[in-house]
Every structure is written in structure tokens, then in C-alpha cells.
Amino acid sequence: MRAVTLPSYGGPEVLTLADVPDPEVAAGEVLVDVTATAVNRADTLQRMGFYNPPPGASPYPGLECSGRISALGADVAGWQVGEEVCALLSGGGYAEKVAVPAGQLLPVPAGVSLVEAAGLPEVVCTVWSNVFQLAALAPGEVLLVHGGTSGIGTMAVQLAARHGARVMCTVGSAAKAARAEALGAERAIRYRDEDFVEVVRSLTDGRGADVILDNMGAKYLGRNVEALAVNGRLVVIGMQGGTRGELDLAALLSKRAAVHATSLRARPAAEKAAIVEAVLAAVWPAIEAGEVHPVIDRVLRLDEVADAHRLLEESTHVGKILLTT
């Protein structure tokens, strides 16, 4: 099969489409003929050599895909060859075929095309596991999402607004602000021109955000703690602004607040399967009812993967960038 390989680490130009052996299908796994995959920030880190695949994962990038089941490993029940699916991956989505633990498969929701479905698993599982399971966002609470028009951001805004939370987010431009507000954000804060701590405080009578979903890491750590409400939960899922920051424990203690940091990729298959099961029960019906939809910026071909990475790193997109095989 063809897959995007990394002969060396570096810029988008190192991404190299090559002929490689087909993946082997272990017990409990299915083989998926990939129709589309999606580009995630983690893929750019992997490309630069900062995020090696966990043990046992495919060496190729790609944390989600859609496609058709072409073979079943031993001990797989409930899935058939030929079924259209999308899947949460530990890697290997940038390829024509990928082997996936059956617990990480999801049906393609009614009303969503097979290509678009490639952009759902990673964002939905990330948002659900962090905002709803870990941080337990309650209706009426205030959620602040950094990067409100990223793939993760567009899904977090929609799911939290539908849940009855008050949603605020940061964005890089007025055009992105309009998109985020159309998705359900009460207020999209243009971080280049506005101080998100001040805006969140002024919109909440000084109370702050109950939950913050953060992709900036160290750069925002101090201001995120400032922006938290009493009993607030900061959930760091990305470190685009660095990894080591000063934590003011006195401020955290005075708010009885918490800093969580998580990622999906390295979790054991059983934990991923539990998240996928919860997402199927809680989010798929909302997608099928049209209340929540995947936001797709554009669809490129797998051989345009370098351009896709350049687009992601320019950050002018809104929602997901997909790649079709």
C-alpha cells in the first residue's frame, strides 16, 4: 500500500508518500481501507520528531480516518467486511490501509459523508473525554475554549453550547470570531487585540470560567489560572506555547482549582474503547439529529499532505483539514 512516511524529521517537505507493506491485523482488530484521514497538530509534532508513536502503534502519522472494513481479525464481533466506519487511531491514518482495534471503530453517522466522517473521531473523543468526562462541565457553567475555530474548538463550542453551558473562546481574527459565534459561542475573544482574562471576568461578573480547554500550555498557564472560577478546572491538551510554565499555587489554592493535562493517543486500548462507546451513545445521536456537525475547512489528496501541514501551521483554517486517499 501507499503511506506517508517520515524518512527524516523536519518541515512539511519531509512527508513522503511511499510504497510500504500492508499492516497486519491482530486479534481484536479490523483492517480498514482508508477513504480519508485528517490532519491534527500532533501529526506536525510527529513530523518534527517531538511526538513519537506509542509502543505498538503504526509508524505513520494519522490519528483518525474513515473508510470501509476489508478484513476482520480473530475475536471481532459486531462488525462486517464492507461496512463504512470511522476510527480513532494511535497512528497510521495517512495510508491506504490501517489496522484498528475494534473498540475504536464508530459507524458513519447518518447525514455525514464518508469523507467528512474522517474528521470526527479525534475531535469528538478529545472534547468528550476532557470537557465532559474529566472536567464534568455542567449546564449553566462557563467554558473557555482556546483556539475556538480549530477542529477541536469547533466541536467543543458546539457540544458545550448544546449542553447548556455558556461558551467563550479565543480566536485569531474577526472572521474566525464570526464563525465561532455562529457555532454557539456567546463571545469569541480576539486574542491579538483583547485580554481573555479581562473579557471572561467581565462577562461573568468577575467569577471566571469553570472549565478551560487549553492548547497553549506554558504560555497561557498563568493567565488561565487567573481566568478560572472557584472550583475551576483547567484542562491542557496541547502545548503550542511551550511546556514549562510558572504555576501560582496560592492562586490555584484560593480557588480550590485544578490543572489537568491529558492526551488520547497514549491511553490503553480499553480506555479508548470506553471513550468511543460513550461518544457513540452521547454525541452520535446529536450529529444524526443535525444539532452538531463536523466543520471541514477543506479536503486535499493524500499526495498533497505537505500542503495540508503548511495550511494547518499557518492557522488560517476553520475546522478540519482532510486528506483523501
Cβ closest to a second copy, residue 179 vs residue 267: 267
Cell of 29: 482488530
Q: Which of 260, 278, 286, 303 binds a second copy (CB under 8 A)?
A: 260
Cβ closest to a second copy, residue 183 vs residue 228: 228
Beta bridge partners of 30: 72, 100
Element (H, E) at 288: helix 284-288
* Contact between 52 and a second copy per CB under 8 A: no
Burial class (CB in 10 A: 0-12, 13-18, 19+), 244: exposed
Q: Which amino acid is at 46?
A: Q
Q: Which stretch binds a second copy (CB under 8 A): 4-12, 95-103, 232-240, 312-320?
A: 232-240
The terminus-to-terminus CA distance of the chain in angstroms comes to: 11
Q: Which of 7, 55, 193, 250 binds a second copy (CB under 8 A)?
A: 250
| Shortest Cβ 208–a second copy spacing (Å) | 15
Q: Which of 16, 52, 262, 316 binds a second copy (CB under 8 A)?
A: 262
3-class secondary-structure state, position 266: coil
Query: Which is it for strands 209-214 and 142-145: parallel, antiparallel or unpaired?
Result: parallel
| Shortest Cβ 143–a second copy spacing (Å) | 18
Cβ closest to a second copy, residue 17 vs residue 218: 218
* Contact between 274 and a second copy per CB under 8 A: no
Q: Which residues contact 314 (CB under 8 A, 6 or more apart)?
A: none
Using CB under 8 A, list all residues that contact a second copy: 217-218, 221, 236-237, 239, 243-250, 252-263, 266-267
